[in-house]
Structure 1
Amino acid sequence: MNDLIGKKHMIGDASFVIQHMRSTSSSAMPRAHSHACYELYCLLEGERVYLVNGKIFTAQKGDIVVIVPHELHSTASSQVKYFERVLIHFAPEFLRESDGNVLNFPPFQQSTLLRTPVKEQPEIERLLVQMVAECKEENSLYDSYVRHLLLELLIRLNRLHAVSPEAPGSNHPMHEKVAEIMAYIEAHYREALTLEQLAKHFFISPAYLSRVFLKLTGFHISEYVRVIRIREAQKLLRTTRQKVHAIAEQVGFEHISHFNKTFKKFAGVAPIRYRQSHKY
């Protein structure tokens, strides 16, 4: 079966983006990342390992991973190489104001994996295929129709979550161990954490931990610690009026120059510019 990497279709100023893709080879996001929009990762066939906000899921046919804004996530291959998925990014503003209330419901407050019952999968797939087709053909009022289809999908996802609120995890023991380590880092990121310390704490060989952690997250341990610190700094810049140097110290940086350099490397802009571009 040939790989298919479909065109990314956008509506407006990228307030809605959808892409259909299938692949027969191992693939992964280069590293865990976050963005300011919602993401729906809809797996039509195959199996994928999905890392989101310190949790690791094994997504199967019919599963939909919901990623809320600013949460760290990535995907990687499982033992099943072939997969087919539809990926959707959308800003809350894409929905009509009266319809945006759907995002206040639980599955859109915290990133999660939703397992779709087999009998529900054809209808979910119909909505996804129709959205891709509408964006590809761009017939009259297609943007309004896509908005309608997206709202229907979100309502269905909310109902699925109401029936099964607990997301299934990964059945791979090492995946669970990496998730534990990620949770530990998130709880202790202000401390001076090293690969050797973490390996000793969790009774794992440093070389093995480094290899598995890199495969699942795209990061070396030291990089991931810095990412968690910067992510927390971003949150504080968006939601508080604290001085930049105070935030740097609070998230574990001893020197403001190191903080500024690291922040710009991971966020793409300086801390002050980041704060200016996000409303308080």
Structure 2
Amino acid sequence: MIDRLQPKYHIGDHDFSIQYMSRNGSSSMPRPHEHPYFELYYLLNGERVYFMDDNVFTVKKGDLMIVNPHELHSTASSDKLIFERVLIGFSRTFIEQGDAAVANLLEHGTSRLVRIPLKHQPEIERLLHSMLAECQTEQTHYSSLVRSLMNELLIRLHRIETTLQSQTHEYEHPMHQKISEIAQYIKSNFHEKLTLEQVAKQFYISPSYLSRVFTRLTGFHFREYVQVVRIREAQKMLVSSRDSVQIISELAGFEHIAHFNKTFKKIAGTTPLQYRKRHG
């Protein structure tokens, strides 16, 4: 494996970060994750498999993934092992400090894949490389210039998206579509009893093959993904309702309250009651 991984440059604690990476070899995120800030993932070269919002995407050169805060996502290698990307994390506050109107562009947008037309790619890449250079050299007022470049990037992305026809999500591989359908099925039926064998039978796949491909494309073991979906749904119910923890555990698909409490703490890092108190 050949890597060129530059340091991750930061402005503030969680206001802004940017990192360049070039890699030749199979790789994937150690764990699917979420975070409280926006993320832009731009592929300069190569190809990646991206799992986000219950969908498997094939990301290619010139593609940009826009990830909203708290959206569970992961990346993995495709059949093409060489890739080069720039990753940006930023808060809404960071943008607002430059221009509140630009920050409003972040409202109501879903996490999505944007295929940047070839004619616009050089301009997008110029902005990315300019931000990297500013963070590397840290010349006078560099943070203000990075904010200005970031605002320009968001404006240009908005213009590009408004001129594009609504892009339909085309799956690169039949199993990408199948795994997306299974992830969406789990999300819609989290309250039911879900087993690998039952879901595999329903989607006409062998359990061992489903287990292997699901883990490779999503970063989750099948049973683990079911638990994560259930806990995330339970978190919503804890904040939006006054139902007891016992009732919420049942509505989320858990048969035993002790198992629910243990799983909740493992995934959320706190107990259900503490979570409700903190977010209610």
- Do the structures match in fold with TM over 0.5? yes
Q: Quick one: distance in 2 between partners of 1:159 and 1:107?
A: 15
Greater CA drift, 269-278 or 40-49? 269-278
1:117 aligns with 2:117: yes
Aligned pairs for 1:63-102 within 5 A: 63-96=63-96, 99-102=99-102
Contact 1:68–1:108, Cα closer than 8 Å, also in 2:
no
SS at match of 1:80: coil
Within 5 Å, give how 1:169-184 maps onto structure 2. Answer: 169-184=170-185
Structure 2 length normalisation: TM-score? 0.92
Q: Distance in 1 between matches of 2:274 and 2:157?
A: 36
- Cα gap change, 1:80/1:142 in structure 2, threshold over 3 Å: closer, same or farther? same
Please report how far the alpha carbon of residue 268 of structure 1 lies from its aligned counterpart in structure 2 after TM superposition: 2.3
Distance 2:244 2:81 in 1: 48
Task: Note if contact 1:103-1:109 (Cα within 8 Å) is conserved in structure 2.
Answer: no
Alignment of 1:1-280 (within 5 A): 2-96=2-96, 99-105=99-105, 109-164=109-164, 165-278=166-279, 280=280
Report the secondary structure of 2:96's partner residue. Answer: coil
Is 2:95–2:103's contact at 8 Å kept on the other side of the alignment? Answer: no
The Cα offsets for residues 109-138 of structure 1, whole Å up to 9 and x where unpaired, read as 211000011111111001111111111221
Q: RMSD of the TM alignment (CA)?
A: 2.1
Distance 1:80 1:107 in 2: 35
Q: 1:133 to 1:231 in 2, by over 3 A?
A: same
Post-superposition offset of 1:239: 4.5
SS, match of residue 127 in structure 2: helix
Give the Å deviation of 1:65. 0.2
Q: Whole-Å Cα distance in 2 between the matches of residues 109 and 244 of structure 1?
A: 32
- Partners of 1:4 and 1:135 lie apart in 2 by 17
Native 8 Å contact 1:92 1:100 kept in 2: no
List per-residue Cα deviations over 1:204-247 (Å, max 9, x = no partner).
Answer: 11111111001011212111110101112233344555544443
User: Cα distance, 1:160 vs. partner?
Assistant: 2.0
User: Does the 8 Å CA contact 1:7/1:19 hold for their aligned counterparts?
Assistant: yes
Tell me the alpha carbon deviations over residues 130-186 of structure 1, each in whole angstroms, 9 at most, x when there is no partner: 111111221111111111111111111122222233254321011110001011111
Matched residue type, 2:259:
H
Indicate if the aligned counterparts of 2:14 and 2:37 stay in contact, CA closer than 8 A: no
* Contact persistence 1:229–1:252 (CA under 8 A): yes
Say whether the 8 Å CA contact 2:38–2:66 is kept in structure 1.
Answer: yes
Maintained 8 Å contact 2:96/2:102: no
Identity %: 54
Which range moves more in the overlay, 80-89 or 235-244? 235-244
Greater shift, 263-272 or 153-162, is seen at 263-272
* Cα distance between partner residues in 2 of 1:71 and 1:239: 19
**More divergent stretch after superposition (95-104 vs 32-41):** 95-104
Q: Specify whether residues 98 and 127 from structure 1 end up closer, same or farther in structure 2 by C-alpha distance, changes over 3 A only.
A: closer
Q: Any stretches of 5+ residues in structure 2 without a counterpart?
A: none
Worse-matched range after superposition: 267-276 or 24-33: 267-276
Counterpart-to-counterpart distance in 1, 2:25 and 2:210: 24
CA distance in 2 between partners of 1:212 and 1:200 (Å):
15
CA contact (8 A) 1:263 1:269 kept: yes
Aligned equivalents of 1:57 and 1:24: distance in 2? 20
Distance 1:242 1:26 in 2: 46
Q: Is the 8 A contact 1:112 1:167 kept in 2?
A: no
Counterpart of 1:253 in 2: which secondary structure?
coil
Q: Which stretch shows the higher mean deviation, 239-248 or 159-168? A: 239-248
Amino acid of the structure 2 residue aligned with 1:123:
E
Cα pair distance change 1:166/1:266, threshold 3 Å = same
> What are the ranges of 5 or more consecutive residues in structure 1 without an aligned counterpart?
none
**What TM-score results when the alignment is normalised by the length of structure 1?**
0.92
TM-aligned CA distance change 1:276 to 1:88, over 3 Å:
farther
Distance 1:265 1:153, change over 3 A: same
Instruction: Tell me the distance in 2 between the aligned counterparts of 1:26 and 1:197.
Output: 31
